[in-house]
Structure 1
Amino acid sequence: MKFGVCEQTLHSRLGPMAVVESGYRTAKLGGADSFWLPDHLNNLLPQSLMTTKHSGAAKWIPNIDAVVEPWTALGYLAGRHRYQRPLLGTAVTDTGRRNPAVTAQAAATLHLMTRGRTILGIGTGEREGNEPYGVDWSKPVARFEEAMATIRALWDSNGQLVDRDSEWFPLKNASFRLPPYKGKWPEIWIASHGPRMLRATGRYADAWFPVGIVSPEQYGEGLQKVREAADDANRDPQSITPANTQFVVTGRSSDEVDEALNSVLIRAFALNIPAWAWAEHGVQHPLGENFGGFQDILPQTFDEQSALAYAAAVPTSLIKQFVLTGTPDEVVDRISVWREHGVRYPVLINASSMQEKLSRGLKAALPFVQILRRIRKM
């Protein structure tokens, strides 16, 4: 079972790359096969809660919306750690605010720099990184499908000029002449959830890479749909890697984990879980019964009072269902359940640092590494 580590792209008082470097070294220490960075202009957590009153990490990261650009950061890592071999990827890049030709160029460039160790994680993106910046958010899936077709057309052009009609990204005498590395382009890992996106995954993806906001059973059902779509597209269904992204809250004991789960920021994180999942716990999402979670949230607009009220409404059972919580043994047991339903490549994000006590967040780093090392043995 292969696995990866994803780290937040937070600028800190220690510099723009300190958090990223720390995550990369954790991935190496835990024996991870890959290292990933998200692609956001701001955070999916409310900045109004990033104060020392609510988070110990605020001393070092005063502004949670100050995030660095991932392709630049990955290029930095590739140059600084040129003799190390983990794959580097985005989890995930956006087809809303990025022209697909630029994405194709960025991924191909990093692939050449890393001698074939780049993965293009890609998805529709989220409202918070598009709509506030003037990007039309009315048809994110249609835009995504056209972006994928554009990237494939450019990569498969063999340097010939490309003409392609498209509502979103028409090509006219478009040239793409960067070469693949030893005849291979970066793998494409698609973050998808809805039926139309699952079909697109079957057509275009080398891996299915959703965020773990479904149950293991629902994951297995989605994987079957992806494989059926691949078969319909005359692709080998088994060639698509079953991956996912999972958030982890861990500690040295159950008491430490329970303490972390009561932290305001970790509870506020659950606002990114869609309303249908809240309803399964007998609670309406504070932002509405049809709220789409991380794809719809605009956390930069929440004042402190509103954010605290929203966080207080979160049932702990909801967090425990959709976040891998517990001691290392408990987390690994839960990953085993996901494996039983098809996952073969989890990518883990250590969310333990979001808790109120900085010392607890720092101490959770060791249990997280223990989780990584135990996955290696699965």
Structure 2
Amino acid sequence: MTVPDPHPPIGVLVHRSTPPERIAGFARAAEDAGFGELWLAEEFLHTAAPVVAAVTLGATRRIPVGIGVVPAAVRHPAVTAMEVATLARAHPGRLVFGIGTGVERWNERMGVRTDRPLSVLRATLTTVRTLLDGAVADVGGDPFLLRSAQLGHPVAPGAVRLVAGAVGPRALELAGEVADGVVLAHLSSPRYVALARERVAAGAARAGRPATGTTLTAFVIHAVDDDRDRARASARSAVGHYLHALAGTALTTVHPIGPELDRIVAHGDPARTTAEIPEEWIDRFAVVGTPGDCAGRIREFLAAGATSVVLSPADPATGPRELTGVLRAFRSAPAGQGRA
């Protein structure tokens, strides 16, 4: 008898529209369904990721919980380190805590501006790690001030992984230099994952670190249905939204679609972008189709260098139980045809 992998390299994302009172039930359902990871996003004026992490960790027993990601410029690293240490000591070995530069337009709505987002991210990651390790952190005011600080409750080695949210090559290299892993944004594809793995390895080499220890988690737009056309139709709106927002970033420029994408987004209307994107782009930028199609596509991400793939359902009403067919297909079926 074959025993299912207790932590398959497939996670599921709690959608921002999930009401707080339903998050614990969602987390238990994800664990019971057999997912290997549960991930939480922090989006402006929705739920606070560290609080949601406390809820989900307390509601489950084994499943690792990842935060992908909190914005570095919004929280002081001392506060972030306190949050991380509290969660990691209460639930050792289960927390993955992601920190990124944040979404610029959200930061600006709070009056948070920085012309050096990667410098802030680097300083935050290194300072949080210093504090978690129990050492004294002393930062002279650029990009933040922290005088002779030491955590009252540091964490044991390996109790938590600090990962970076990254999109462009410089951010990916930074992750390789100073983080335990990287979280890749929606619109990830196997082709982009291969680029990301290359840049992370370059950063790790520059810092004299082994790249093999750096995790690479890919968030993907997902829709599953026995009717492939229906699955694509379900994912179209999400793919169009992210293409409109992320056109011109490494997520899209790695593909030979630049001139056509520029033409489609030039009018500035996200709804029109959604309507005009070719059907093939939905396959390119999402994990869609039958359970077997989706399982094959996930294997392509893993072959390209991802250590895990996190399904972000295009339909917010989709829960973990509706996705178990993908897990079964992944465990039983070989990889499908590639379409990087």
| TM-score (ref. length: structure 2) | 0.83
**Deviation digits for residues 101-159 of structure 1 (CA, Å, limit 9, x no counterpart):** 1111111111112133111122111123211111104322121111112212222344x
CA distance in 2, matches of 1:156, 1:33: 27
Secondary structure at 2:184 match in 1: coil
Amino acid at match of 2:282: I
- 1:260 and 1:229 map into 2 onto residues whose CA distance is 37
Structure 1 Cα separation of the partners of residues 174 and 261 of structure 2: 32
Matched, 1:280 2:283: no
- 1:375 corresponds in structure 2 to 330
Checking the alignment, whether the CA contact within 8 Å between 1:38 and 1:70 is kept in structure 2 is yes
Query: 2:223–2:314: 8 Å Cα contact kept in structure 1?
Result: yes
Task: Say if 1:283 and 1:9 are closer, same or farther in 2 by CA, change over 3 A.
Answer: closer
Q: Distance in 1 between matches of 2:32 and 2:134?
A: 40
- Percent identity, please: 23
2:65–2:95: 8 Å Cα contact kept in structure 1? yes
Give the whole-Å Cα distance in 1 for the aligned partners of 2:243 and 2:201.
30
Q: Equivalent residue for 1:321?
A: 284
In structure 2, distance between residues paired with 1:190 and 1:257: 31
Specify which of 312, 330, 345 is matched with residue 308 of structure 2: 345
**Aligned length in residues:** 321
SS at match of 2:300: helix
Question: Is the contact made by 2:125 and 2:179 (CA closer than 8 Å) also made in structure 1?
Answer: no
Which residue in 1 is equivalent to 2:146? 171
2:194 is the counterpart of 1:229: no
- DSSP-derived class of the 2:262 partner: coil
Residue 17 of structure 1 corresponds to which residue in structure 2? Answer: 21
- CA pair 221-331 structure 1, distance change in 2 beyond 3 A: same
More strand by share: 2
Q: Partner of 1:120: helix, strand, or coil?
A: strand
Whole-Å separation in 2 of the counterparts to 1:87 and 1:222: 23
Maintained 8 Å contact 2:132/2:151:
yes
What SS does the aligned partner of 1:191 have? Answer: strand
Amino acid at match of 2:301: W
Contact 2:92–2:160 (CA<8 Å) still a contact in 1? Answer: no
In structure 2, the gaps of 5 or more residues are 1-7, 334-340
Partner SS for 2:138 = strand
Q: 1:275·1:288 contact (CA, 8 Å) conserved in 2?
A: no
User: What amino acid is aligned across from residue 129 of structure 1 in structure 2?
Assistant: W
- Unaligned 5+ runs, structure 1: 43-66, 292-305, 354-360
Separation (CA, whole Å) in 1 of partners of 2:26 and 2:121: 29
Q: TM-score, normalised by structure 1?
A: 0.76
Whether the aligned pair in 2 keeps the contact of 1:38 and 1:91 (CA below 8 Å) is yes
Give the whole-Å Cα distance in 2 for the aligned partners of 1:258 and 1:217. 20
| Deviation of the 1:10 alpha carbon | 2.3
Question: More relative contact order in 1 or in 2 (CA 8 Å, sep 6+)?
Answer: 1
Aligned to 1:2: 9
Q: Displacement of 1:271 after TM fit?
A: 2.4
Do 2:12 and 2:30's aligned partners in 1 also have CA atoms closer than 8 Å?
A: yes
Q: 1:230 to 1:222 in 2, by over 3 A?
A: same
Tell me what 1:333 maps to: 296
Work out whether residues 13 and 310 of structure 2, in 8 Å CA contact, stay in contact via their aligned partners in 1: yes
- The residue type paired with residue 282 of structure 1 is E
Question: Does residue 95 of the first structure (1) align with residue 72 of the second (2)?
Answer: yes
In 2, Cα distance between the equivalents of 1:25 and 1:281?
45
State the 1:267 CA deviation: 3.8
Contact 1:271–1:285 (CA under 8 A) maintained in structure 2: no
Q: How does 1:1-378 map to 2 (within 5 A)?
A: 2-10=9-17, 12=19, 16-18=20-22, 20-42=23-45, 67-81=46-60, 84-158=61-135, 160=136, 162-181=137-156, 183-261=157-235, 264=237, 267-275=240-248, 277=252, 279-280=257-258, 282-284=260-262, 288=266, 307-353=270-316, 368-376=323-331
* CA–CA distance in structure 2, aligned partners of residues 29 and 340 of structure 1: 27
**3-state SS of paired residue (2:223):** strand
CA distance 1:188–1:131, change in 2 (3 Å): same
